[in-house]
Structures are given as C-alpha cells and as structure tokens.
Amino acid sequence: MAINSMITWDSINKGFSTVLSNGNLSAITPSSSAKARCSVGKTSGKWYWEISFSGTFGNPNLGIVNSSAILSASDANSANVRSYYVDGRKFPEISSYASNYTINDTISVLLDLDSGTLEFWKNGISQGFSHTNILSMGTVYPFVSSGQSASDATVMTANFGASTFKFTPPAGFLPYAWETVDKFLVLKDEIAYGAVPSQPLVPKLTSAVGENGSVISSGAYTSNWFAFDGDKSTAYTTNFVPSTGAPAYIGYKFNTPVTVKRYEFLVGLIDFKLMASNDGVSWVTLDTRSNIPVNMTTVQSYIVPKASPYYYYKLETTKATSVRDWIQFNAVQFYDYTPVIIAPTLEENDYSTYGFVKEDEIDLEKKHSHILIKTTNNSSVGSGKVFKHSISEKNPIKNVSIT
C-alpha cells in the first residue's frame, strides 16, 4: 500500500465558485452554498485526514458528502451530508455536537466505514461521534465549505496523508490517500531497477503547434489544442457524433519518434483505441478498450502493452457518453518511462514509487543475466511480504500475475 498524492480536492466536481490552489489541496468557497469535494470516494475501511485554516475566517463547515450532494447549492440539512459546523453544531440534525473552532485550530476527521461512524477531533482531542448512521449514504467523500462572500471566505487546506499529520491517527485508521498497489522491481546483485513516469510528452499548448510537434484531430467545434492546454475546464469538442464509420480522435504528431508507454485522458469514453503511425496514413492499434463505464470526472490512465517509437499517436473513439452527443476531450496526455536504479538500500516505499505494474513489458536482454522479482503483498508499508522468483533475462517479461 502507498500514499496516492493525486488524491486532492476535485478540480472538476466542485461548487461553481470554489477556487482550488496548493496542488488542489487548499480550497476557498466564497459562497456559503459552494463545496469542495475530494476526488476519490470510499465505501469501506477506516480513514483519517486533517483540515487546517488560513486567510479571513468565515463560516467553515466540513465532513463528508455522498454522490448525491449538491456542490453548488446549500444542502447541509439533507441526508446527503454529515458535517461539523464552525459553531459546534452538527448537520443535517442542526443540533449541538461539540465546541466551536477557529482559524488556529486543526480539525481531524475519523471516518469508520466498517462500523458506520464519523468522529471529529479538535486539536487532537476527540469531540465524540457526530454520527453513527453513515453507511446508508453509499460512497462518501470528504468535503469543506466556508464563507458567504469573497471577503470572508476561509482557505481550508486538507492533508489526506501526503504530508506528515499534525496528530497521530488512532490504531486501525489509515491516511485517506492510502491505496493498494501491486508493483514489482527488477533486482540484480542487490541493485533494484525500476522506472518512473516521464514528464508529459506533449508540452502545455497555447496553440495547435508545440515545440516538439503539432496536434492532429477529427472535426472540431472548439480548438483541438484545448485537450493539451493543461486546463481541465477547457476542452476540444467535436462537431459531430462519432460512430464506427466516423470515429472522433485527438492526438499529436511528434517531430521525432517517441515511445508512449502510458496514456491518460479526461473524457467519458466507452469504446476507444490508442493508435500509432509513422506517416499519418497507415495506423497500428496499440491498445483497445470496450464497454468502459462512463467516467467524466476523473483522469483515466492506461498502460500501452507493446510500446515502440512512432511519430504519430491518436486516441480514437466510436462511442462516448451518450450516442447522441458531440465529444468533449478535457485532457489528453502521453508518457514514457524513465529508468531508475535504487541502491544501496531498498525500501518498501520504492515499490509504489518506482515499481513496474503488471501490464508493463520489460526488455531485460541488454542489462541482466538473471534477475529476481520482488513484490509486496496487500499490507501497510513496513510489514509487507516479499516474494522472489528467478528468471532469465533472455526473454522479456510480458505478463506478471500478482494475487
């Protein structure tokens, strides 16, 4: 298991006036009806996070919401919210719960989805259970809200676990950003070999022509380079409904061949392909996905099974969101991997940071004679179990099963 630093306040699913900063960990909601919601929800487990305050202190409200909560309207007294208000009341009951808090306080949230309870701490001191009926909410997300105008909006900063907590979580509770990872490293002579994602291969664009290539796309209603501008609130929008005979696509022509080993996007695709070419005419399919559940709120990432250098890459879809709609590509990006060597000491955190995933194909012929595969089991860092298996480097690793 490891900390996923990508778990932050959601830059897409948020109140209309909510402003995020500090890597999307700090939120201002100038309207009392607006909310900031976490990018990832939970349905089970015991989770801990902390909220701190700065700026002009307004009227903070914090806790959890479910998927039905309204993010741009006030629904604190609905069944979709469980929260601890600045004056000590709890919602939706609107009844007395705990002491009030101020700008210098740190509020800890203890979410127990195994027992169905919600508890808050103020500066490390328990305020008791606020709610014991949260299992009926379904998937829940951390949230914050504060302020009635731009002049009294409080900056509310979340620590989901990427930084050291101010207070120690109780036994059994994990940082909210804690996630299971199944990865492995390649070892030779006690030196570990891994990889990290490279910087995006397509630079942040302000036009269809970048420093290392240019955007390619199907018909456009809005500018195609919006998919690569680094702003998820803008989008390349097609001017037609895609179909099997007329797919929609967005991609990039590089000035020199590059190897794409991972691609990601923010768009609700159902059926899609990643394709590559060296001339823009003859295309090969690198990855195909079908009947993917529609996800228009989080960035999806996929490994390229067989990666080789090409000039052209495109993400092509024949079906997305509704079959009657034009398609909006809010974000698209391509990545390679940068090899790393870990020596002399190997720690379990290195697996999650530098490890390969089971979809990766790794060419060992040039570097190793015999190697060992190491992987941790599903346990917290520091108590994982290591499994080893010798293999020959003469054959590439094409598949790894982790159970």
What single string gives the DSSP state of each residue in 133-148? --GGG-SEEEEEE--S
- Give the model's pLDDT for residue 316: 96
Compute and round to an integer the Cα radius of gyration of the chain: 24
Burial of 361 (C-beta count, 10 Å sphere; 0-12/13-18/19+): middle
CA-to-CA separations, 128 to 25, 65, 281, 352, in angstroms, rounded? 26, 19, 65, 35
Bigger pLDDT: 168 vs 146: 168
Average pLDDT over residues 22-38: 89
- Give the model's pLDDT for residue 63: 98
Q: Is 217 helix (H, G, I), strand (E, B) or coil?
A: strand
Bigger pLDDT: 137 vs 379: 137
CA distance 79 to 281: 55
Bigger pLDDT: 214 vs 380: 214
Average pLDDT over residues 140-148: 89
Contact partners, residue 358, CB within 8 Å, separation at least 6: 182, 184, 399, 400, 401, 402
317 beta partners: 248, 272
CA distance 80 to 140: 9
Q: Is 220 helix (H, G, I), strand (E, B) or coil?
A: strand
Average pLDDT over residues 371-378: 40
Looking at residue 332, its amino acid is: V
- Give the model's pLDDT for residue 374: 40
Which region holds residue 383: left if phi is over 0, alpha if psi is between -120 and 50, else beta? alpha
Q: Is 203 helix (H, G, I), strand (E, B) or coil?
A: coil
Average pLDDT over residues 74-94: 95
Mean pLDDT rounded to a whole number for the chain: 85
Burial of 16 (C-beta count, 10 Å sphere; 0-12/13-18/19+): exposed
Name which of 329, 311, 309, 333 is nearest 320 in CA terms.
329
Q: Which of 8-12, 296-300, 360-364 has the lowest mean pLDDT?
A: 360-364
Q: Which of 3-7, 109-113, 349-353 has the lowest mean pLDDT?
A: 349-353
CA-to-CA separations, 8 to 11, 24, 235, 258, in angstroms, rounded? 8, 6, 22, 31
* DSSP H or E segment with residue 196: strand 191-197
- Give the model's pLDDT for residue 372: 40
pLDDT(227) > 60: yes
Burial of 125 (C-beta count, 10 Å sphere; 0-12/13-18/19+): exposed
- pLDDT tier, 369 (very low <50, low <70, confident <90, very high otherwise): very low
Taking residue 131's Cβ as centre, other Cβ atoms within 10 Å add up to 21
- Give the model's pLDDT for residue 382: 44
CA distance 201 to 277: 16
CA distance 326 to 262: 26
pLDDT tens string 115-136: 999 999 999 999 999 999 999 9
Average pLDDT over residues 185-194: 76
Share of the chain above pLDDT 70, in %: 82
- pLDDT tier, 146 (very low <50, low <70, confident <90, very high otherwise): confident
CA distance 253 to 76: 49
Taking residue 111's Cβ as centre, other Cβ atoms within 10 Å add up to 23
pLDDT(383) > 60: no
pLDDT(365) > 60: no
Name which of 148, 96, 84, 164 is nearest 122 in CA terms.
84
* CA dihedral sign of residues 319, 267, 354, 46: negative
Looking at residue 118, its amino acid is: L
Average pLDDT over residues 191-203: 80
Give Cα 177 distance to the centre of its chain: 10
CA distance 333 to 356: 20
Domains and CATH numbers, the chain: 2-179 (2.60.120.920), 184-197+337-392 (no CATH), 209-335 (2.60.120.260)
Q: Which of 76-90, 229-243, 294-308, 381-395 has the lowest mean pLDDT?
A: 381-395
Q: Which of 61-75, 209-223, 239-253, 296-310 has the lowest mean pLDDT?
A: 296-310
CA distance 250 to 263: 12
Taking residue 326's Cβ as centre, other Cβ atoms within 10 Å add up to 17
- Give the model's pLDDT for residue 380: 39
Name which of 200, 330, 232 is nearest 8 in CA terms.
232
Contact partners, residue 188, CB within 8 Å, separation at least 6: 367, 368, 369, 370, 371, 372
Average pLDDT over residues 67-79: 90
Bigger pLDDT: 205 vs 10: 205
What tokens were used for 50? 């902390």
Bigger pLDDT: 398 vs 29: 29
The most confident of 50-59, 199-208, 249-258, by mean pLDDT = 249-258
pLDDT(367) > 80: no
Cβ proximity of 258 and 336 under 8 Å: yes
* DSSP H or E segment with residue 215: strand 213-217
- Give the model's pLDDT for residue 9: 93
pLDDT tens string 317-353: 998 765 457 888 999 999 987 777 776 677 766 776 6
- Give the model's pLDDT for residue 30: 83
- pLDDT tier, 399 (very low <50, low <70, confident <90, very high otherwise): low
